[in-house]
Amino acid sequence: MTRRTQGDVSRRTYLKLTGGSAAVGLTGLAGCLGESEGSMTITPGTAPGFPPFEMRRDGELVGFDIDLLEAVVAETDYELGEWATFDFDGLIPALTQNEEIDVIAAAMTINEERRQTIAFSDPYWESDQAILVREGGDFQPSGWADFEGVRVGAQSGTTGADQVQSNLVGEGIIPESNFSTYDSYVLAVEDLVNGNIDAVVVDNPVAETFAANRDVTVAFVEETGERFGFGLRQGESELQSALNDGLATVRDDGTYQEITNTWFGQE
């Protein structure tokens, strides 16, 4: 596929060669789709603590979503401003109410409830929910019915939290008091390792990342068939189309697979 170019090199390559990056053109005021030398600057927002999609490493914001959005925007006529970070459940208000950001890149599941408030790009990832427990611990469930009397955690505002509410609290398997919510999954997994809760419900690729680095293991996977998309304000069809076109380009030219290999390993 033909890519946008600066002379005879791609836009993304041009930015690298000139010492820039996809995250250029700071906005001064976040959001507002600011003008920057003939280009529109968009401010991205995310919620660190969800490895390998978004996290801090040695103080730097890194992850699959970070690399992917930067690559996607580099294929458009937009410029990416400085990243803003929030708790996960603060992202949509930051986008729609305060307009501090213009696009959400935070492994956000596309669902009808969120579609009432925001718009989404085309999907860029599919996921299910996994149940993390302590490795070698006494609690090794094979299904939701095994959770009676245990303590469960999830990050607030996530599909994992919804799964706990619908499958455990709503079914009367555990009381509401046995369900703890957290600002990030890092905190939830720390409580799991320390024995303060017995299980964490989290997206499967994130669960596998924690299992590779902590004394936790995946007990079972609940197939939810979720799809992640970039979130943006309703009515911004030009930005939505640009992101979709950029996403198609990075899929076609191999960049998407390169980023996937970086954060999830080669298949």
Q: What is the dihedral of CA 123, 128, 133, 136, to 10 degrees?
A: -110
The label of the residue with tokens 């930015």 reads 15
Q: Do 39 and 65 fall into the same domain?
A: yes
Q: Do 95 and 141 fall into the same domain?
A: no
CATH number of the CATH domain containing 161 = 3.40.190.10
pLDDT category, 33, cuts 50, 70, 90?
low
Q: Which residue has the higher pLDDT, 185 or 28?
A: 185
- pTM of whole model > 0.75? yes
Given a cut of 80, whether residue 157 has pLDDT beyond it is yes
Which domain does 163 fall in, by range? 128-225
Structure tokens at 18: 């000139």
Q: What is the mean pLDDT of residues 54-64?
A: 96
Q: Do 75 and 144 fall into the same domain?
A: no
Per the structure, how many domains does the chain have?
Answer: 2
Q: Do 111 and 138 fall into the same domain?
A: no
Q: Do 102 and 57 fall into the same domain?
A: yes
Q: Do 162 and 204 fall into the same domain?
A: yes
Q: Do 103 and 167 fall into the same domain?
A: no
Cα angle 61, 230, 8 (rounded to 5 degrees) comes to 80
**Measuring CA to CA, which residue among 129, 108, 132, 115 is closest to residue 213?**
132
Given a cut of 50, whether residue 7 has pLDDT beyond it is no
Q: Do 12 and 109 fall into the same domain?
A: yes
**Measuring CA to CA, which residue among 208, 191, 154 is closest to residue 176?**
154
Q: Residues 6 or more apart from 260 whose CB is under 8 A from it?
A: 64
Given a cut of 90, whether residue 32 has pLDDT beyond it is no
What sign does the CA torsion over 54, 21, 235, 30 have?
A: positive
Q: Do 110 and 237 fall into the same domain?
A: yes
In 10 A of CB 124, how many CB atoms? Answer: 23
State pLDDT tens for residues 136-152: 999 999 999 999 999 99
State pLDDT tens for residues 207-240: 999 999 999 999 999 999 999 999 999 999 999 9
